[in-house]
Amino acid sequence: MTFPKAFLSISLFLISFVLQTRVLSQTQPNVILIITDDQGYGDFGFTGNPHVNTPTLDQLAKESVQFTNFYVSPVCAPTRSSLMTGRYSLRTGIRDTYNGGAMMASSEITIAELLKAKNYATGIFGKWHLGDNYPMRPSDQGFDESLIHLSGGMGQVGDFTTYYQGDRSYFDPVLWHNNQQEAFEGYCSDIFAEGAIKFLEKNKDHPFFTYLAFNAPHTPLQVPDEYYQKYKDLDPSLGFGEDGKPFYPMNESQKEDARKVYAMVENIDDNLKKLFNKLEDLGIADNTIILFMTDNGPQQQRYVSGLRGLKGNVFQGGVRAPLLLKFPKKFSQPQTIEALTAHLDILPTLGDLIGFEIPSDRKIDGKSLVPLLNGNKNEFENRSLFSYWTRKFPERYNNISIQKSGWKLVGKTDFNASIGDFELYNLKDDPYEQTNLISTQESLGLALKDEMDHIYEELVNEQNILNPPKIKIGSAEENPVFLNRNDAGGQRGIWAQEEIFGYWDVELEPGIYDFKFKFVKPVAAKGKMVLEIGPHVNLSKDESASPLEFLEMKDIELPRIESKIIPFYEVEGKQIFPFWVEITKK
């Protein structure tokens, strides 16, 4: 049989294209980015803790490039936004962990989006915490597959599918798999790790980006009993202080918390062993970039390698974290790097290692770590790093810091404080922040304060702070929409209170809608449900004879509008804010 020349030419072209695509897929490195939640700098064997059992991570540290002067934000959502975008969190619209401030603007460009554009398969397993509704979900920001819980943590008010499980919220949870509720059996960390392993298997012949974001060891401190039994008799306060590192006393409650945390950490370590073994079994370990880090300091007092402060604090214990980078194909020898580095640097580093272009239409605050990996430290010598944390919005000079060239200026004072009210530390000589040198180094403090003022003013005037992200209602991308308390604005600190003022900022498409309101607990009958959406106010009087857990308002016609959704149930002189709201466009 003979074939026309044109047919043969097309066939040869297609074969060549397929072979080239396969070679490209094999040469492009895979990426696994692992982050744990509220695991402090001292919660590892490789950082000096003799009590916690982390053999897998200790071995990873021996085989990796260790960045020993690496920093994150004091709390989780800001860290995650900076990690995903290479930008200070305030630029992205992230200003809090709840209070409506944990929604990242959809205009932000994430690692997942950049890698997806390079033909990577992208998957997230665990904690997102950058927005639970369209257009801010993982699927809206570059992830092909997502298996996550909602809001800041399982068992918290925003994650309403696990909240009512109480002390079993980490077991047999209802999670969100590709934006749909799905029931799972087992322990949360095992479920997320298993999801990541299946993702590796499915994409073993194709470059992939796996974001494994454990929600452990965040509270509530729940762990399988087989792990807890290993630590139940431990005194986690023993064996510290003799090396000259400060050790802060622990009460009995903190000791018990540490036992549970260490058990949760060992479970994570076991799951990572399964993950790394799978890479070996699939024959793709050498061409896989593994990054491991944590999101902030520990929430509870325990060993922190002598560092001062905990989660939420700009002192070292709240913001210093480990970063391990392993990429056998390119960096075969382990090394230690002491340059000032941060979560902001992960995106540009991957850009250098993989070959994607860093967005040029916005300020990228991070730096590629590749020069450091190649022995060039010059670009990092005069680097400065800004940090802050207060609820809802930044507060001038309260829990705020800047560090540069080994010096760190800390503000724990008033908005109009003089330089003498600040704290200044020489981190090279005093890594544990014990000696305030502001009285003898005032000119240096003033120079750092000027730089702090400049970046503070720049960040609080970012467009995504002045015009915060909004949830879109009525889109075909998400219907129905569940509004949860994590993303509700209003009074400071909305949690599980009944009588509290709250709202959701939304962009609503025109249409006819059904609203369903769930309350924290059943409310008294004979009240009145009020739904305010801009100038559109709808009332519904209840004539029930018994307490209500749910209340519905149907067939409400609404125009296109940007506004606040303000719902409350008025009864017996109280105005009760719903626990969550389900909105369905007909």
pLDDT tens-place string over residues 65-101:
999 999 999 999 999 999 999 999 999 999 999 999 9
d(CA 311, CA 314): 8
DSSP 3-state of 252: helix
Sign of the Cα pseudo-torsion (427, 431, 437, 440, in order): negative
DSSP run (H or E) holding 541: strand 536-541
Comparison of pLDDT for 378 and 283, the residue scoring more: 283
Q: What does each C-alpha distance from 549 to 313, 520, 523, 582 come to in angstroms?
A: 39, 8, 7, 14
Which residue, 308, 273, 305, is CA-closest to 292? 273
The residue-averaged pLDDT of 45-71 equals 98
d(CA 345, CA 364): 9
Which residue is listed with tokens 């809001």? 151
Q: What does each C-alpha distance from 486 to 16, 129, 159, 391, 548 come to in angstroms?
A: 52, 9, 8, 13, 23
The pLDDT value given to residue 378:
85
The pLDDT value given to residue 26:
58
- Report whether pLDDT(16) > 60: no
Instruction: Take residue 155 and report the two structure tokens written for it.
Output: 């068992």
The residue-averaged pLDDT of 56-66 equals 98
CATH for 471-585, options being 2.40.50, 2.60.120, 1.50.10, 2.30.30 = 2.60.120
- Report whether pLDDT(348) > 60: yes
Which residue, 582, 522, 519, 524, is CA-closest to 553? 582
Instruction: Take residue 111 and report the two structure tokens written for it.
Output: 């690692």
- Report whether pLDDT(20) > 50: no
User: Average per-residue pLDDT in the chain?
Assistant: 95
The residues, ordered by sequence, that sit 6+ positions from 576 with a Cβ below 8 Å of its Cβ are: 498, 499, 519, 523, 568, 569, 570
What's CA 187's distance to the chain center, in Å?
20
pLDDT tens-place string over residues 542-551:
988 899 999 9
Domain ranges of the chain: 25-379, 384-464, 471-585
The pLDDT value given to residue 377:
84
Complete DSSP assignment for 161-201: HHHTTGGGTTBS-EEEETTEEEE--SBHHHHHHHHHHHHHH
pLDDT tens-place string over residues 229-266:
999 999 999 999 888 899 999 999 999 999 999 999 99
Please provide the size of the chain in residues. Answer: 586
- Report whether pLDDT(434) > 50: yes
The pLDDT value given to residue 369:
98
Which residue, 419, 499, 390, 537, is CA-closest to 96? 390
What's CA 14's distance to the chain center, in Å?
43
Pairing of strands 320-326, 288-294: antiparallel
Contact 291, 346 (CB under 8 A): yes
What angle do helix axes 252-282 and 188-202 make, rounded to 10 degrees? 20
C-beta neighbour count of 309 within 10 angstroms? 21
Instruction: Take residue 145 and report the two structure tokens written for it.
Output: 């597959």
d(CA 159, CA 132): 9
Which residue is listed with tokens 């809206």? 140
The residue-averaged pLDDT of 515-529 equals 97
> In the 8-state DSSP scheme, what is residue 39?
-
The pLDDT value given to residue 4:
53
The residues, ordered by sequence, that sit 6+ positions from 112 with a Cβ below 8 Å of its Cβ are: 84, 122, 124, 138, 141, 142, 143, 209, 211
Which residue, 155, 190, 240, is CA-closest to 486? 155
pLDDT tens-place string over residues 116-156:
999 999 999 999 999 999 999 999 999 999 999 999 999 99
DSSP 3-state of 124: strand
The residue-averaged pLDDT of 381-407 equals 96
d(CA 482, CA 582): 5
Look up the CATH architecture of domain 25-379: 3-Layer(aba) Sandwich (3.40)
Q: What does each C-alpha distance from 475 to 84, 469, 481, 580 come to in angstroms?
A: 25, 16, 9, 19
- Report whether pLDDT(24) > 60: no
The pLDDT value given to residue 1:
47
The pLDDT value given to residue 171:
98
d(CA 414, CA 420): 12
pLDDT tens-place string over residues 262-272:
999 999 999 99
- Report whether pLDDT(330) > 70: yes
d(CA 424, CA 415): 17
The backbone torsions φ and ψ at residue 548, rounded to the nearest 5 degrees and listed phi first, read -115, 130
Complete DSSP assignment for 306-373: T----TT-SSHHHHEEEEEEEBTTTB-S-EEE-S-EEGGGHHHHHIIIII-PPPSSS------SHHHH
Which residue, 183, 310, 170, is CA-closest to 228? 170
What angle do helix axes 252-282 and 55-63 make, rounded to 10 degrees? 60
CATH for 384-464, options being 3.40.30.10, 3.40.50.620, 3.40.50.1110, 3.30.1120.10 = 3.30.1120.10
Return the ∠ at Cα 562 (arms to 561 and 563), rounded to 5°: 105
Contact 102, 128 (CB under 8 A): no
- Report whether pLDDT(13) > 60: no
The pLDDT value given to residue 413:
98
| 79 residue type, one letter | T
Which residue, 115, 161, 123, is CA-closest to 143? 123
Name the maximum alpha-carbon separation found in the chain.
93
Which residue is listed with tokens 């149907």? 554
C-beta neighbour count of 362 within 10 angstroms? 15
C-beta neighbour count of 499 within 10 angstroms? 11
Contact 409, 448 (CB under 8 A): yes
The pLDDT value given to residue 213:
98
> In the 8-state DSSP scheme, what is residue 41?
T
